[in-house]
């Protein structure tokens, strides 16, 4: 399957927009019923080391993380802004897109929080395209302050 460019761009725009709006349940809806989500420091990826910063090897773990964010975790008060670049689209349903996330604090100060590459495996599910496996290769692996809301 080679996903249609326009559909991929729509999905990526939704992906960033929903996180930036704090709509995490709708964001979860972009993933397949069975899915994986990982944030992997480039330092580990380049050395073939398996440990991730966020390792959700099932939808259950991803949902637990969002629930923890809402019910338990405390973190820097901020808003996110995702800038997602043009995707490369491959034949087997795999896409790659560069991203940058800026964080802005309560006093309006913005800093570059993270940049890296999304490597997603997309699959057709129901009427649309869903994310089956998302690997976030994090270039900014010296994480500024802490990583709370999803990249």
Partner 1 sequence: MTMVTAAIWPTLDYSRVPYRLYHDADVYMREQEQIFRGPVWSFLGLDCEIPNPGDFRAGYVGDTPIVFNRDKAGAVKTFVNRCAHRGALVRREISGNADQHICIYHQWCYGLDGGLQAIPFHRGVRGKGGLDASFDMRVHGLRPLRMGNINGALFGTLAEDAEPLEDYLGTPIVAQLRRLLDRPMRVLGYNRQRIRGNWKLYAENTRDNYHASLLHEFLVTFGLDRSTQVGGVKMDARHRHNITWAEAESDTDEFARQAYASARVRNDFLSLKEPALVTFHPERDDKLNIAITSVFPSAVFVQISNSLAVRQIRPRGVDEVEIFQTMLGYEDDSSEMTLHRLRQANLVGPAGLVSMEDGEAIEIAHRASRRDLDRTTVIELGGGGVISDRDYRVTDVPLRGFWSYYAELMGIEPDSAVR
* Residues at the site binding partner 1, with contacts judged by CB under 8 A: 39, 41, 43-44, 47, 49-58, 60-61, 63-65, 67-68, 71-76, 141-148
Q: Report d(CA 84, CA 99) in Å as an integer.
A: 4
User: Residue 140: helix, strand or coil by DSSP?
Assistant: coil
* Residue written as token pair 């326009």: 6
Query: What is the C-alpha separation between 110 and 15, in angstroms, rounded?
Result: 21
Q: Which is nearer to partner 1, 90 or 141 (CB)?
A: 141
| Lookup: tokens for 103 | 């964080």
Q: Residue 68 or residue 86: which is nearer to partner 1 going by CB? A: 68
Please, what is the minimum distance in Å from the beta carbon of residue 50 to partner 1?
6
Q: Is the Cβ of residue 58 or residue 110 nearer to partner 1 in the bound state?
A: 58
Phi, psi of 105, rounded to the nearest 5 degrees:
-85, 180
Residue 28: φ, ψ to 5°: -60, -30
Min separation Cβ 142 and partner 1, Å: 4
Q: Cα 34 vs. chain centroid, distance in angstroms?
A: 16
Query: At its nearest, how many Å lie between partner 1 and the CB of residue 114?
Result: 11
Smallest gap from residue 90 Cβ to partner 1 (A): 26
For partner 1, the closer CB: 9 or 61: 61
């Amino acid at each position: 399957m080679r996903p249609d460019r326009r559909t991929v761009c729509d999905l990526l725009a939704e992906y960033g927009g929903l996180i930036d709006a704090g709509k995490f349940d709708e964001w979860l809806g972009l993933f397949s019923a069975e899915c994986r989500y990982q944030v992997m420091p480039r330092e580990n990826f380049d050395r073939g080391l398996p440990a991730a910063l966020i390792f959700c090897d099932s939808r259950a773990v991803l949902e637990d993380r969002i629930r923890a964010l809402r019910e338990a975790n405390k973190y820097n008060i901020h808003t996110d802004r995702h800038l997602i670049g043009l995707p490369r689209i491959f034949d087997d349903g795999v896409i790659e897109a560069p991203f940058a996330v800026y964080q802005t604090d309560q006093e309006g100060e913005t800093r570059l929080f993270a940049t890296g590459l999304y490597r997603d495996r997309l699959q057709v599910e129901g009427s649309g395209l869903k994310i089956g496996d998302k690997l976030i290769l994090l270039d900014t692996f010296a994480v500024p302050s802490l990583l709370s809301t999803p990249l």
